[in-house]
């Protein structure tokens, strides 16, 4: 490594020598110790101000600068290592920066103005920036170290990429982890470790979680939410010993309790890296003491930035303050604003901690008798909100679980805004226009993305600079690329800044990620080139013919819809569920759901299902939410036999397709029924069974507005109303997303319901993006537009839609007939070594 | 040298699992005609990788859609990496894994 580094720095010296010979002024030499978030950010700020320095950076870690915050995501397996780098090596070369990655500085000679690396090399500076950050604080618990050899086997800190890598490597092969420390870092570690070990216990020495940011009640609510994720939490837990001779086997608590574990992660706080500064004679207390220009005390040419700096008695442990510090320092060093001064940061944080939204600012509890406090707590939902008001100004707020009001509160807190007379509006949106503080209201320098320190002004400038897509702005500014909680606000600001002229990110409009075309264009191209198979689409429409595994299923669905019987069905384009016509379960077995139109069955059918379940020892028989019977735990190789024994058509409980029509009892039996919902439901299912689409299509018909079949929250729901008429609702949902459907039309007869249903579904099939359910598609396109096309036929599309749907209906074949002869070799051969799979318990 | 079976046992673009001396190996037949062999069990939650969808670079586990590089076995989503086995197709179209004997998973 050092060889190449030297080589790289050689040309510069050569340049300098030549420049000196020619008598040109050389740029001053700027040396930065610490190549972390603060150091690299400061250099970026200097460069963006056109600062002319010969820059050399030293970093203890052998990498370019990465986003430390994202280590939580790396541990949790939701982010690749490669995705967290903020400055890759080419950034340093492109900007003429000499980077010594993996080289630690051990001493500063303030008088000779040189820094010495551990290998003895000296580097002179004109200006020096110290940005050495912090390290994990590891309390002196007996057994935590091995004499002379670092941590005990199985003990890890959580600060660097290397820490994270070794933790993952070790945890994978072990079972039980203990995390010491119930602050932000400990919670993130615990959550991430769940991805690697089966049991995680979090030990916290204090009375409640995140005690520096939260009061006891909020901490308790956070604890419940965290426990619901399967993390065991022990508060007031003083760890007194790490047990285990060769490797960790457990930890011992002060009350004598022993918790067995084979991995221990210490997240008990951080300490500023100040040793080098102290040894070199700088003034050091908890951090390196600086003035308002971030200058080390009594040192005209040495500056300090980031977690290692102590400003007006404060050190910080979050990134937001260091963005402010970096700006001030860059303004000062480049002479852009000689009066730039840092006045400290008001810490307002908005975080996702172990998957739970948490925001806190200012006081966590009232301090004076006349402080006004409002508290709302709904433990069952994991929601807690409190605000503290003094003399009509917001001086503290805490939000757990629901942070919708955070932008407004942060603004009020930062600027001391006047507060609404109805204090409750600080916590909730009461009727009226929505929501979050609107993009226009937000102050220019309001920080939108805390993780990456991006203000509203920066986002607006980027938009005005010509980048008018949300994802483009996110890429350029990094806003929204940390914990992600601010994404919707970023989108709103882009929209506002573009004055309505937001451009869709082209990729966001692609039907599938691997083919660069929006759906209408894609369909046109498929028709023009007569592409009938998924592989031909890749070959013809993707530059380079690159296949994309994640796009195959969406293309298969689209082609099937477009070509019906003429579709060339390549089996590998299907998802496993569609290859074997059953829904894969967590243990690799499948679930079998026979069709039961409208949820109506017969004694004979029930008997047959019972016999089949008994004969094949089906581990679980369950009623589904769609009014059918589910046989769970069927091995793949048994599927054809079970279908044969059942001799019932497939219920399509596995595909991105028409699923069921849920019905209520209807007018035949129900005292309240005004329309024969059961008959209509059966008719709908009969006609549209198995039709594939961009997403699942769940329907319902209900016989009166009491809505027993939940028709208001279906992709398409039909409600019988007085006078023999029927209302059709579309775009409803009651899964992870809940939405009441929009009224599409009120019609006079069941026949009209059937026609409009087909037309609506076909319009959805042709226009929605892959995996876009109707609850997203309907509001995106707008119910008025859909009504115009489907009901009023203002665009003259109706006949075409009806014909296309007729063709699809005609092409329908029951896939469970595909059993005598497998469609491909080994179609039903087992793919799983049952021995190692977690088996679903037999009930 | 272990013969697993004929290439034609695997449909183009799909994978099948073989029991190679107690080790579960997923063999994939890419659409360009080449083959890849990897450990068959997804290190995430034990998903059956042979049931996953592939392209020329990756296999996507059907359970939670974690992706793995077909050639190196490297996880692209922070999971442990997969073992890669050297697999070839002989002149008669049989799949051959170096220095292991195999029996097919009974079906
Ligand atoms: C897992 C994790 C999750 C986090 N999550 C959040 C979050 O959600 N929100 C938030 O606001 N903050 C979070 N933080 C904190 C945030 O990462 C830090 O505040 C930030 O990284 C501080 O930046 P820094 O540049 O001061 O220090 P660092 O990023 O630590 O950089 C300092 C660098 O200097 C190097 N160095 C030290 N001594 C020397 C030397 N003598 N010679 C050469 N190099 C040296 C170090 O190796 C290091 O690379 C998190 C931190 C961790 C570890
Ligand atoms: S088991 Fe493979 S992705 Fe979860």
- Can you tell me the mean pLDDT for A558-573? 91
pLDDT at A77: 81
CA distance B45 to A809: 38
- Local structure of A78: helix, strand or coil: coil
Kindly indicate the confidence band of residue A833, based on its pLDDT and cuts at 50, 70 and 90. low
In a domain, A379, yes or no: yes
Among B10, B51, B78, beta carbon nearest to A80:
B78
Does residue B101 register a pLDDT over 70? no
* DSSP labels, A513-558: TTS-SBHHHHHHHHHHTT--SHHHHHHHHSGGG---HHHHHHHHHH
Q: Do A546 and B80 make contact, defined as CB atoms within 8 angstroms? A: no
Q: Are residues A391 and A276 in the same domain?
A: no
Give strand ranges (E) for A67-113.
98-101, 105-109
Phi, psi of A311 (to 5 degrees): -120, 125
B93 contacts chain A (CB < 8 A) = no
pLDDT at A835: 42
pLDDT digits (tens, 9 = 90+) for A428-443: 876 544 444 567 778 8
Q: Are residues A660 and A802 in the same domain?
A: yes
Angle, helix A798-811 to helix A783-790, in steps of 10 degrees: 80
A59 lines ligand 1 (CB under 6 A): yes
Reported pTM? 0.57
Q: Which residues of B touch A82 (CB under 8 A)?
A: none
Does residue A839 register a pLDDT over 70? no
- Local structure of A394: helix, strand or coil: strand
pLDDT digits (tens, 9 = 90+) for A74-125: 898 877 787 788 888 888 998 999 999 999 999 999 999 999 999 899 999 9
Does residue A11 register a pLDDT over 50? no
| Average model confidence (pLDDT) across chain A | 87
In a domain, A739, yes or no: yes
10 Å CB burial of residue A724 (0-12, 13-18, 19+) is exposed
B70: closest chain A residue by CA: A549
Kindly indicate the confidence band of residue A811, based on its pLDDT and cuts at 50, 70 and 90. confident
Q: Are residues A727 and A771 in the same domain?
A: yes
Cα atoms in the Cβ-side hemisphere of radius 13 Å centred on A563: 22
pLDDT at B105: 37
Give the residue ranges of the annotated binding site of A for [4Fe-4S] cluster: 664, 670, 704, 708
pLDDT at A504: 64
pLDDT at A437: 57
Give strand ranges (E) for A244-355.
250-253, 258-260, 263-266, 270-272, 288-290, 302-304, 309-311, 348-353
Return the residue whose CA atom lies nearest to atom 48 of ligand 1. A36
The CA distances from residue A635 to A391, A591, A784, A801, in Å, are 68, 9, 47, 40
B107 contacts chain A (CB < 8 A) = yes
Q: Which residues of A touch B12 (CB under 8 A)?
A: 570, 572
pLDDT at A236: 95
Q: Comparing C-alpha atoms, which of A637, A632, A635 is closest to residue A609?
A: A632
Q: Do A78 and B17 make contact, defined as CB atoms within 8 angstroms? A: no
Among B48, B58, B79, beta carbon nearest to A832:
B48
- Can you tell me the mean pLDDT for A595-615? 92
Q: Comparing C-alpha atoms, which of B44, B72, B47 is closest to residue B58?
A: B72
Q: Say which CATH topology domain B2-100 has.
A: Rieske Iron-sulfur Protein (2.102.10)
Q: Which 3-state string (H, E, C) describes B35-103?
A: EEEEECECCCCCCEHHHCEECCCEEECCCCCCEEECCCCCECCCCCCCCEECEEECCCCEEEECCCCCE
pLDDT digits (tens, 9 = 90+) for A626-676: 889 999 999 988 999 999 999 999 988 888 999 999 998 776 666 666 668
Q: Among residues of chain A, what percentage have pLDDT more than 90?
A: 56
Ligand 1 atom nearest the C-alpha of A58 is 43
In a domain, A456, yes or no: yes
**Chain A residues with CB-CB distance to B under 8 A?**
74-81, 168, 172, 195, 514, 535, 546-550, 552-553, 570-573, 575-577, 579, 584, 586-588, 637, 824-826, 828-833, 836-838
Q: Are residues A491 and A538 in the same domain?
A: no
Residue pair A65/B69 in contact by the 8 Å Cβ criterion: no
**In which domain, by residue range, is A500 found?**
447-508
Give the residue ranges of the annotated binding site of A for siroheme: 708
More confident residue, A641 or A353: A641
Kindly indicate the confidence band of residue B97, based on its pLDDT and cuts at 50, 70 and 90. confident
A318 lines ligand 1 (CB under 6 A): yes
Does residue A761 register a pLDDT over 70? yes
| Element holding A761 (H helix, E strand) | helix A750-767
Residue with tokens 């037949």: B29
Kindly indicate the confidence band of residue A311, based on its pLDDT and cuts at 50, 70 and 90. very high
> To the nearest whole angstrom, how far is the Cα of B51 from the nearest Cα of chain A?
6
CATH number, residue A455: 1.10.10.1100
Q: Are residues A118 and A14 in the same domain?
A: yes
| ipTM field | 0.87
pLDDT at A98: 95
pLDDT digits (tens, 9 = 90+) for A663-714: 987 766 666 666 688 899 999 999 999 999 999 999 999 987 777 888 999 9
B47 lines ligand 2 (CB under 6 A): yes
Angle, helix A470-477 to helix A487-497, in steps of 10 degrees: 110
Residue pair A590/A641 in contact by the 8 Å Cβ criterion: no
Q: Comparing C-alpha atoms, which of A546, A631, A620 is closest to residue A594?
A: A631
More confident residue, B6 or A818: B6
Q: Do B31 and A535 make contact, defined as CB atoms within 8 angstroms? A: yes
pLDDT digits (tens, 9 = 90+) for A28-87: 999 999 999 999 999 999 998 998 999 999 999 999 999 999 898 889 887 778 778 888
B19 contacts chain A (CB < 8 A) = yes
Number of Cβ within 10 Å of residue B18's Cβ equals 27
Query: Residue B75 Cα, ligand 2 centroid: separation in angstroms?
Result: 11
Phi, psi of A713 (to 5 degrees): -120, 35
- Can you tell me the mean pLDDT for A377-384? 90
Ligand 1 atom nearest the C-alpha of A40 is 25
CA distance A541 to A200: 48
In a domain, A529, yes or no: yes
Both tokens of A484, joined, read 């992600």
Q: Comparing C-alpha atoms, which of A500, A505, A487 is closest to residue A440?
A: A500
> To the nearest whole angstrom, how far is the Cα of A217 from the nearest Cα of chain B?
35
First to last CA, chain B: 24
Number of Cβ within 10 Å of residue A732's Cβ equals 23
Kindly indicate the confidence band of residue A446, based on its pLDDT and cuts at 50, 70 and 90. confident
Which residue from B39, B40, B51, B64 has its CB within 8 A of the most atoms of ligand 2, so it is best to mutate?
B64
Return the residue whose CA atom lies nearest to atom 53 of ligand 1. A159
Query: Residue A834 Cα, ligand 2 centroid: separation in angstroms?
Result: 15
Residue with tokens 């150091």: A39
| Element holding A660 (H helix, E strand) | strand A658-663
> Which residues have C-beta within 8 Å of that of residue A653, sequence separation ≥ 6?
A583, A591, A593, A624, A626, A628, A630, A659, A660
| Element holding A393 (H helix, E strand) | strand A393-400
B11 contacts chain A (CB < 8 A) = yes
pLDDT at A110: 95
Phi, psi of A821 (to 5 degrees): -125, 115
Task: Determine how β-strand A29-33 pairs with β-strand A54-59.
Answer: parallel
Q: Do B48 and A588 make contact, defined as CB atoms within 8 angstroms? A: yes
Both tokens of A270, joined, read 């951080």
Query: Number of structural domains, chain A?
Result: 5
């Amino acid at each position: 490594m050092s060889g190449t580094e030297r080589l790289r720095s050689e040309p510069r010296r050569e340049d300098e020598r030549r420049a000196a010979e020619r008598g040109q002024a050389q740029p001053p030499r700027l040396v930065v110790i610490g190549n972390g978030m603060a150091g690299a950010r400061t250099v970026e700020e200097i460069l963006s101000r056109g600062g002319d320095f010969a820059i050399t950076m030293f970093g203890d870690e052998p990498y370019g600068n990465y986003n430390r915050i994202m280590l939580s995501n790396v541990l949790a397996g939701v982010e690749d290592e490669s995705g967290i780098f903020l400055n890759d090596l080419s950034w340093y070369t492109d900007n003429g920066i000499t980077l010594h990655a993996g080289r630690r500085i051990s001493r500063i000679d303030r008088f000779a103005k040189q820094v010495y690396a551990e290998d003895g090399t000296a580097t002179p500076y004109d200006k020096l920036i110290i940005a050495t950050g912090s390290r994990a604080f590891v309390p002196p618990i007996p057994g935590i170290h091995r004499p002379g050899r670092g941590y005990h086997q199985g003990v890890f800190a959580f600060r660097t990429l290397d820490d994270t890598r070794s933790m993952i490597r070790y945890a994978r092969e072990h079972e039980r982890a203990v995390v010491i420390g119930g602050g932000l870092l400990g919670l993130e570690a615990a959550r991430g470790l769940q991805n690697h070990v089966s049991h995680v216990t979090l030990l916290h020495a204090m009375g409640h979680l995140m005690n520096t940011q939260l009061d006891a009640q909020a901490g308790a609510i956070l604890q419940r939410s965290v426990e619901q994720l399967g993390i065991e939490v022990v508060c007031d837990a003083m760890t007194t010993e790490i047990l285990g001779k060769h490797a960790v086997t457990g930890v011992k608590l002060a009350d004598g309790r022993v918790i067995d574990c084979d991995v221990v992660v210490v997240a008990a706080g951080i300490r500023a890296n100040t040793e080098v500064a102290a040894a070199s004679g700088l003034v050091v207390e908890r951090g390196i003491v600086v003035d308002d220009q971030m200058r080390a005390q009594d040192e005209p040419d040495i500056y300090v930035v980031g977690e290692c700096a102590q400003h007006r008695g404060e050190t910080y442990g979050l990134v937001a303050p260091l963005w402010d510090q970096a700006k001030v320092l860059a303004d000062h060093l480049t002479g852009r604003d000689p009066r730039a001064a840092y006045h400290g940061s008001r810490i307002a944080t908005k975080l996702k901690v172990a998957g739970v939204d948490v925001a806190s600012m200012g006081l966590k509890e009232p301090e004076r008798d006349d402080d006004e406090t409002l508290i709302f707590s709904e433990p069952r939902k994991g929601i807690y909100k409190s605000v503290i008001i003094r003399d009509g100004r917001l001086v503290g707020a805490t939000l757990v679980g629901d942070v919708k009001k955070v932008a407004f509160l942060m603004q009020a807190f930062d600027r001391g805004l006047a507060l609404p007379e109805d204090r409750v509006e600080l916590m909730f949106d009461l009727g009226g226009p929505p929501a979050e503080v609107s993009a226009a209201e937000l102050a220019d320098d309001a920080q939108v993305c805390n993780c990456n320190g991006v203000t509203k002004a920066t986002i607006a400038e980027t938009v005005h600079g010509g980048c008018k897509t949300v994802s483009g702005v996110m890429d350029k500014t990094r806003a929204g690329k940390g914990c992600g909680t601010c994404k919707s606000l970023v989108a709103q600001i882009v929209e506002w800044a573009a004055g309505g002229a937001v451009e869709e990110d082209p990729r966001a409009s692609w039907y599938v990620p691997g083919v660069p075309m929006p759906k209408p264009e894609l369909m046109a191209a498929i028709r023009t080139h007569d592409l009938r198979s998924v592989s031909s689409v890749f070959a013809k429409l993707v530059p380079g013919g690159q296949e994309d595994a994640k796009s195959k299923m969406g293309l298969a669905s689209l082609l099937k819809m477009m070509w019906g019987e003429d579709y060339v069905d390549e089996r590998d384009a299907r998802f496993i569920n569609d290859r074997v016509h059953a829904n894969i379960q967590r243990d690799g077995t499948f679930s079998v759901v026979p069709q039961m139109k409208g949820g109506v069955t017969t004694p004979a059918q029930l008997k047959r299902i019972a016999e089949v379940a008994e004969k094949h020892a089906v581990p679980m028989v369950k009623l589904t939410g769609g009014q059918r019977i589910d046989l769970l735990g069927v091995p793949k190789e048994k599927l054809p036999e079970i279908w044969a024994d059942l001799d019932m058509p497939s219920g399509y409980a596995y595909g991105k397709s028409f699923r069921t029509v849920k019905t209520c009892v209807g007018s035949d039996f129900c005292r309240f029924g005004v329309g024969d919902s059961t008959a209509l439901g059966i008719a709908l299912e009969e006609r549209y069974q198995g039709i594939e689409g961009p997403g699942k299509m769940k329907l319902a018909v209900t016989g009166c507005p009491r809505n027993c079949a939940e028709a208001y929250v279906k992709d398409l729901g039909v409600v019988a109303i007085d006078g023999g008429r029927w209302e059709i609702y579309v775009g409803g949902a009651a899964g992870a997303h809940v939405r009441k459907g929009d009224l599409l039309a009120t019609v006079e007869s069941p026949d009209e319901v059937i026609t409009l249903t087909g037309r609506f579904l076909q319009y959805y099939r042709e226009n929605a993006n892959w995996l876009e359910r109707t609850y997203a598609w309907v509001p995106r396109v707008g119910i008025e537009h859909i009504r115009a096309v489907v009901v009023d036929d203002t665009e003259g599309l109706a006949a075409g839609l009806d014909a296309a749907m007729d063709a699809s209906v005609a092409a329908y074949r029951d896939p469970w007939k595909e059993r005598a002869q497998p469609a491909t070799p080994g179609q039903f051969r087992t793919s799983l070594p049952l021995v190692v799979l977690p088996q679903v318990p037999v009930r | 040298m272990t013969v697993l079976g004929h290439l034609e046992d695997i449909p183009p673009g799909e994978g099948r699992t073989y029991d190679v001396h107690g080790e579960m190996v997923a063999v994939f037949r890419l659409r360009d005609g080449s083959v890849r062999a990897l450990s068959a069990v997804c290190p995430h939650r034990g998903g059956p990788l042979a049931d996953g969808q592939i392209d020329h670079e990756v296999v996507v586990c059907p359970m939670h859609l974690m992706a793995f590089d077909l050639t190196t076995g490297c996880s692209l989503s922070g999971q442990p990496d997969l073992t890669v086995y050297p697999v070839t197709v002989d002149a008669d179209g049989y799949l051959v894994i170096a220095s292991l004997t195999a029996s097919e998973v009974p079906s």
